[in-house]
Structure 1
């Protein structure tokens, strides 16, 4: 038995034998049965999904002696010739070696002749994206209006290389990658026809490694069958293809759970020492985290979705309950994001080891990150709120007697601690001074003045002294110390020495000017440049020192040498910096204006010509010699 080329041996010969691509098969089969053929077709998709195979089957269906038919019979002479690749009217071209414009021209000449033996001339162009631009242009008219006896089928893996004019002239069918179940069914059917026993896990591995490509899966199957074993075993598949077993992943899970970095490093060395495929290893690791996340979330209901055996499901269920769900999700996200980084890194092994070590240290890294966030959010000592000064002669907050229920006093009176809507947040007022705040302070902590009617605020009732103190004046309304002292509550037997006079609230200092007041003498442009240099803003104001500056009518006019110089000074970032520095040095009333020197402005040739013709010396020469100006070329320094 030869297993070297299973792809050619079991190439489908009818639409029904093709794995997957149900929509494309249905459309083309119906078109062949109804004899409705398009001028051109474009088949696109990844490698090994059946583009060329379906193109040949479609050519047989169109030219079968039983045509029009939905399926070729594969028994007539026409079908046999096309299957053998010797049909004179079915031309298959490899654009990689026949993609020049001369080949396209010969194709145009050949298409004009009628078919020799078959009903249709079919031109199958494989790897059509390799055609040159000139070859595509040569085929434009032919693809749009071919003879009624001809059709084109172009197959490609890179549709983005096609001109839009070509795609618009074709019926475009995108071939999908096969699902894992479709590949498993196809491989199992081939093994049954070869009469080879197999383990289901072995076929599953080959299908996963094939990644949606039938040809890749068939090649891997032939590679494993070359071992010559009587039965296809999962262990043999992992050994030959360099795939990690479940034991490697579960050992890695144990190391990650125990935060054993040395064990994680040993696992990486084991993967490298066995020559395992790093790309497939990371894919399988991502599937492990996915399995554990779904099992942690949904339990045994997720087992049919994951397609695991009972033994594998039990093992994954144990690890799903060992890890926290958020930890599993974070590791799954890290694996998916790190896959491309590992495969494109100059040191893939080191990148993989770093990824796994980060998973093992994830809990510590998150704790450090949270600690850093808390430290950055905590107020600095300078910003820490200062404690309120103690108030002398203030009665301690009253608490209800233990024998009385909360909120009641003898006689049905409401206790004073229930008067404020914010319990426990403010110190209460003694009963004899109810309606007043100690030391002349309002509910919001501001000194109380007099009411709008002119009566002292201390004579207001308890209902007037609620939480809303928007009617209280600010401290600026108190003019004298006696006004402040009048707000101090008086008891029946006042003790003058126990009530110290209140200090006047200091008035805010006047705002300082924003521009530097330390500059002595007149402020001019030279001093401004020195101020810019001292402030360290030279790097953000490139070209400012080369400007000419002058103060004119409350404006600082900066003159640039040319438009490029103006772009340096008046750019989006530099202009804002210059305006801020001008406001700081000259004052906020000084505006900024940036202009170009008259010598730096670019003039048109007509303006230069007018200046030259109007020059008196030029006029004198033209009048003396009867000359005329033919052309004018500006100098480079103009």
Structure 2
């Protein structure tokens, strides 16, 4: 007899042989033993998890004269003929190649005839999601009112493509991905039965590469056995699956954590020169980083999935912080997505290697320290911000020591050393918005502004979290901000502008361009515009209501400054002195 692949030789013939699907198999066995079977079933789940095998076992069990507790005997001529695919009353159909209306109409015609050899005629339709819309409609009536002694079993990997009218007429069973330890146990059982020696770690490598599919695991095992000599070794499994050795990943991440860019890049080149694929490399390092994180929290749980933990792995887990591993996983995930659409995989692999090696997490600032740059701005801009904060703190200390009154602190002329604003107001841009501004556009923009902030990236959201739209037309929106320096930076940030326009397009169907101005300048610009552009009473009222910013007297301005100071520095550091 010709050689058969392992996944065919070891295909499950009983419900108890199906690995990792206890809930499904037990339910089906109970239904058979209690004679409570339905006329149609839907088996869904990832590839290689036992859907078609369960369907054939079900067809045998429901027709087997020697059935015991829902299990077929696999000894009678009926079971043997179904196993070999020779029984005419059990029909397997591949919907990928028989997906037309004509094929389903043929089934509707033949389904009227009673079974000739067994009690139930069983139709197993694999990859049923491939049927056309017309074919589904043709199948619908048959599923709704099937003839007596006819059973349909539909199997698919993509249940979301099946019409709800079909799903509602079936009993659905979801097959899940098989756990690594279950695959390892089954592979070990097979090798022991075949009297083949093996390294335990080789089975874990194959099981993890199979990604929850038993058929994939058996195919990989078949390849590994063909590649190996007399014993299945860990190196054999790594060669067949294209995975990296633990030593390679230990060294790579150790170089990255130590900031040794050149050594990490050399390691990447060496790995690629041995024939490893960039996609597989990223996947293995991503999984390795996940293992590091799990080991730090639940070491015993990881040992069940990994088999063993090496000393370099433990050392690396103790060296890396949770926050750094989180960032590693984020960067590797981004690179994995980029590799899917790129033809320059090596470039992305080298770029992510440099990012990992150069990653420096910002430590929480100690009391009195200035926080480090986390906003994504240039170093010069950040230094200016730090300088402004330092000056503000010095001025606050002077206020605390000299007892200057609040009114003096809030006056723009004092202190004498304060630098005047160098930000040039975009007066023309603001006037353009006011010229076309409407109350409806402003209200519409204000209603979705908080939603817009949530749609931006963390950096972008942090930069404009204190912004407020104050006037809007059909194409632009004026947004106030409490810092003229940040306004200057934002107005020149093209990527942020694009993000705002794109997300506003999604929310209100209008791509508005944002114009940022300091909050303290808004009332002046509004009043100047109204003076320079006389309108009739109705239009003036409209603009006034849209852009209403109340004038503040000295007392109110002082109170506002105090509130801002408390908000910025904290109530413990602010001391108010009144003369």
Which of these residues, 353, 356, 369, is aligned with residue 356 of structure 1? 353
- Aligned ranges for residues 258-277 of structure 1 at < 5 Å? 258-277=258-277
Residues 500-546 of structure 1, C-alpha deviations (whole Å, 9 max, x = no match):
xxxxxx999xxxxxxxxxxxxxxxxxxxxxxxx992569768999xx
Mapping for residues 486-635 of structure 1, pairs under 5 Å: 535=428, 571=474, 573=476, 583=530, 585-586=532-533, 590-592=537-539
Name stretches of at least 5 consecutive residues in structure 1 with no aligned partner.
391-423, 428-443, 448-473, 476-505, 509-532, 545-568, 595-638
| Aligned residue runs from structure 1 range 240-259, under 5 A | 240-259=240-259
Encode CA deviations 1:555-582: one digit per residue, 9 max, x unaligned: xxxxxxxxxxxxxx96274799999986
> 1:152/1:264 Cα in 2 relative to 1: closer, same or farther (>3 Å)?
same
Residues 234 and 68 from structure 1, CA distance in 2 versus in 1: closer, same or farther, beyond 3 angstroms?
Answer: closer
Task: Please give the alpha-carbon distance, in whole angstroms, between the structure 2 residues aligned to 1:241 and 1:50.
Answer: 22
Cα 1:47–1:580 shift into 2, 3 Å? farther
How many Å separate the matches in 1 of 2:412 and 2:5?
Answer: 96
Higher mean displacement: 370-379 or 225-234: 370-379
8 Å Cα contact 2:433-2:473 kept in structure 1: no
TM-score by length of 1: 0.61
Shift of 1:160: 1.4
For the pair 1:318 / 2:315, whether they are aligned, the reply is yes
Distance 1:10 1:303, change over 3 A: closer
- Tell me, yes or no, if the aligned pair for 1:583 and 1:589 is still in contact at 8 Å: no
1:243–1:277 Cα contact (<8 Å) kept: no
Q: Which one of 445, 466, 475 corresponds to residue 404 of structure 2? A: 445
Whether 2:196 is the aligned partner of 1:196: answer: yes
Q: Deviations over 1:119-155 (max 9, x none)?
A: 0011111111111111111111110111121111111
State the SS of the aligned residue for 1:263: helix
Label 1:220 to 1:536 Cα distance change in 2 as closer, same or farther (>3 A): same
Q: CA RMSD in A?
A: 3.9
Measure how far apart 1:272 and its partner are.
Answer: 1.3
Displacement after TM superposition at 1:291 (Å): 3.6
Deviation at 1:287, TM superposition (A): 3.4
For the structure 1 residues 251 and 539, does the alpha-carbon distance in structure 2 shift closer, same or farther, using more than 3 Å as the test? farther
Q: Distance in 2 between matches of 1:67 and 1:8?
A: 24
2:36 & 2:7 partners in 1: Cα distance? 31
Structure 1 residue 584: deviation in Å? 5.0
Deviations 1:223-256 (A, max 9, x none): 1111251100111121233221122112213322
- Summarize deviations over 1:330-353 as a string: whole Å, max 9, x none: 323433443333344332221122
Report the 3-state secondary structure (helix = DSSP H, G, I; strand = E; otherwise coil) of the residue aligned with 2:41. strand
Equivalent-residue separation in structure 1 for 2:7 and 2:389 (angstroms) = 75
116 and 317 in structure 1: CA distance in 2 versus 1, 3 angstrom threshold:
same
Alignment match, 1:335: 332
Q: In 1, are the aligned partners of 2:42 and 2:167 still within 8 Å (CA)?
A: yes
Distance 1:318 1:47, change over 3 A: same
The reply to whether residue 369 of structure 1 matches residue 262 of structure 2 is no
| Pair 1:584–1:203, CA change in 2 (3 A) | farther
- After superposition, the Cα gap between the structure-2 partners of 1:2 and 1:183, relative to the gap in structure 1 and judged at 3 Å, is farther
Deviations 1:241-290 (A, max 9, x none): 32211221122133223322111111111121111133333233233333
The residue that corresponds to 2:109 in the other structure is: 109
Q: As a proportion of its length, which structure holds more helix?
A: 2
C-alpha contact 1:62 1:68 (8 A) present in aligned 2: no
Who is 1:119 aligned against?
119
Q: Matched residues in 1 for 2:279 and 2:390: separation?
A: 53
C-alpha distance in structure 1 between counterparts of 2:304 and 2:74, whole Å: 40
Give the superposition deviation at 1:68. Answer: 7.6
Deviation at 1:16, TM superposition (A): 1.0
The answer for the alignment partner of 1:512 in structure 2 is none
**Are the structure 2 counterparts of residues 207 and 382 from structure 1 closer, same or farther at C-alpha, using a change threshold of 3 Å?**
closer
What does the per-residue CA deviation read over 1:55-95, in whole Å, with 9 as the maximum and x for residues that have no partner? 00000001112258511111111111111111111111111
Query: Could you say if the C-alpha distance between residues 580 and 217 of structure 1 is closer, same or farther in structure 2, counting changes exceeding 3 Å?
Result: farther
Paired position in structure 1 for 2:218? 218
CA contact (8 A) 1:291 1:316 kept: no
> Offset of 1:191 from its aligned partner?
1.1
Give the conservation status (yes or no) of the 8 Å contact 1:124–1:154. yes
Q: Distance in 2 between matches of 1:68 and 1:213?
A: 29
Q: Say if 1:593 and 1:260 are closer, same or farther in 2 by CA, change over 3 A.
A: same
**1:3 CA displacement:** 6.1
Spell out, residue by residue over 1:442-498, the C-alpha distance to the aligned partner (whole angstroms, 9 max, x if none).
xx5349xxxxxxxxxxxxxxxxxxxxxxxxxx89xxxxxxxxxxxxxxxxxxxxxxx
Distance 1:572 1:246 in 2: 56
Post-superposition Cα deviations, 1:402-456, rounded to whole Å, max 9, x if no partner, equal: xxxxxxxxxxxxxxxxxxxxxx9546xxxxxxxxxxxxxxxx5349xxxxxxxxx
Structure 2 CA distance for partners of 1:583 and 1:262, relative to 1, 3 Å = same
Check the 8 A contact 2:49/2:214 in 1, yes or no. yes
Q: Which runs of 5+ in 2 are unaligned?
A: 364-370, 414-425, 438-471, 480-514, 516-524, 542-579
Deviations 1:167-224 (A, max 9, x none): 1111111110101011111111111122111101111111011000111111111111
**What's the counterpart of residue 238 of structure 1?**
238
Match of 2:386 among 374, 378, 385: 378
Q: Does 1:157 align with 2:60?
A: no
Q: How many residues align?
A: 439
Higher relative contact order (CA 8 A, sep 6+): 2
Give the secondary-structure state (helix, strand or coil) at the position aligned to 2:152.
strand
